[in-house]
Amino acid sequence: MGGDIRGVTEMKTDKKFIIPLILLLFFLLIMGVIYYYNEQETYMLTPLPLFVPTALPSDVSIPQGESKTIAVGFSYNAVVREPDTVSFYLSSTIGEVPSFVHATFDPEVIKVRPGERFYSNLTLKIDPDAPIGEYYLSAAVKSSRFGPHDRYDGTRVCGDCGACFYLNVIGSKEREKIPLASRIK
């Protein structure tokens, strides 16, 4: 009648720990799947484009045979775990960049983090025999992480974006009409 009940008590105690242990392992499995999914899918913080222009003049006037430096700025809107490497280049929304326009960015390649604003100095040099006129160009940036048609959750993520401006090539006689303050480089 006075039997040993220690074995029964120990078994009940073990069962109390098994259920929380299974729940903990299940929770860790779910967290691992979520972490893996987030590593595989880089997504947008907002429905804005990947790059948003923050600094660029709407039009630039440069006399034939001269050059001018302007600031180009963008903000980076993707949420990524690692910095993205972004490269600057000059493009044209209509056709190709005219051969008499020579562009140099400083810096040309830069690493950016989510939400960061970044800038580059764009130097435009015009050939002396360039035709006078107005040209529609774009100071553009390209992501090394995103392609031009990457998508997440139905939102288009464009990894190649630009800020457009008008380039006015003027003659040397017209240069005198430009105020002295704007001619200083």
DSSP secondary structure letters along 76-143:
E-EE-SSPEEEEEEEEESSS---TTEEEEEESSEEEE-TT-EEEEEEEEEE-TTPPPEEEEEEEEEEE
Q: What is the pLDDT of residue 17?
A: 76
Provide the residue ranges of all domains of the chain, joining segments of one domain with +: 1-40, 44-183
Range of weakest confidence among 31-35, 41-45, 54-58, 90-94 = 41-45
CA distance 139 to 141: 7
The listed CATH number (2.60.40.10, 1.20.58.2240, 3.40.50.720, 3.40.50.1980) that belongs to domain 44-183: 2.60.40.10
Tokens representing 91?
């493009």
- The residue-averaged pLDDT of 141-170 equals 65
Query: Does the pLDDT at position 158 exceed 60?
Result: no
pTM over 0.75: no
- What digits encode the pLDDT tens for the residues 80-115? 667 778 888 888 877 788 888 898 998 889 888 877
Tokens representing 6?
């220690």
